[in-house]
Structures are given as C-alpha cells and as structure tokens.
Amino acid sequence: MRFEAIRTVYPTVVTLRGENDARDQQNNVVTLDEAKIAVEVARMTQEADEAKAIAEAKAAKIQALEELTVTTTNGNEFDANADSITNMLAAVEASAILGTTENSWKLADNSIVTISLDELKEALAKSIQAKGTIILGA
C-alpha cells in the first residue's frame, strides 16, 4: 500500500525504486515526506478495512437469506429463501384459482407433508417478514 500512497501524495512520481527512490517524468528525485505517506497509508488501510467489512456483511446477509427458514405455529419448518417465497406465492395463487384448501409441500428437512392453505399463508407471511428483518439488519 506504500507505493499507492506515494503515488497519491505525489502524483508527479512515475518511478519508484526501493522504498525511497522516487522520480518524476524527467527522472528528477522527488523528496518524500514520510509523515504524509504514513497518513495516506493509514487512510487507505482504513478504507480497505471498511470495504472488507462491508463485503463480509453483505456476504453474511446473502448466506442468511439463502439459508433462511421459518417455523409455523403447527411446528413445520419451511425454507424461506427467495425461491421458496416465490413457490409459496404461486401455490397460494393456484389454491385460490382451483379452490383447494390443502397442498403437498416439501419442508426444510426435505420431508413431504400435506399442509393447509392457512399454514402455507402463515409460512409465506413469516418468510417475507424474516427476509425483511435480514435485509434491514434489524
């Protein structure tokens, strides 16, 4: 990061040899102020650390969203990721069109059970709320 800091503090530097031999375009020596370089290195390090923390938080959020599950009052655990929410919405809509009150559903543990439309709606609502909680960081 030192070389990047030198180039930021001294934009005329085009050549760096070793730690302290800085030259401009005409090959003239550019005198380096170590205090200024240290400040820039510290700023760049803090910026990099902040960017890393943001990236890690984003990755954690993405993973949490992918692994999200919810449990209904009947004790069934449903996957609640984006694809599952889409599937629940489609199943609720299909039930409304067909007039059905029960559905076969694959739960988070991969077991297939028959659930009521009301339980599916509960799982859907809880999934949307849980997703929002993760996204908002609450």
Instruction: Report DSSP state, residue 13.
Output: -
Report the chain's mean pLDDT, rounded to a whole number: 95
For residue 33, the model assigns a pLDDT of 94
- Partner residues linked to 93 by β-bridges: none
Instruction: State yes or no: pLDDT of 138 exceeds 70.
Output: no
pLDDT of 18 > 90? The answer is no
Q: What is the mean pLDDT of residues 33-54?
A: 96
Name the helix (H) or strand (E) containing 135: helix 117-136
Does position 53 have pLDDT exceeding 70, yes or no? yes
Q: What is the mean pLDDT of residues 22-33?
A: 94
Percent of residues, the chain, with pLDDT higher than 90: 94
pTM of the model: 0.69
pLDDT in tens, 84-109: 999 999 999 999 999 999 999 999 99
Q: What are phi and psi of 28, to 5 degrees?
A: -80, 145
User: Can you name the residues that pair with 102 across neighbouring β-strands?
Assistant: 116
pLDDT, one tens digit per residue, over 108-137 is: 999 999 999 999 999 999 999 999 999 998
What's the rounded Cα separation, in Å, for the pair 121 and 114? 14
> Residue range 22-43: average pLDDT?
95
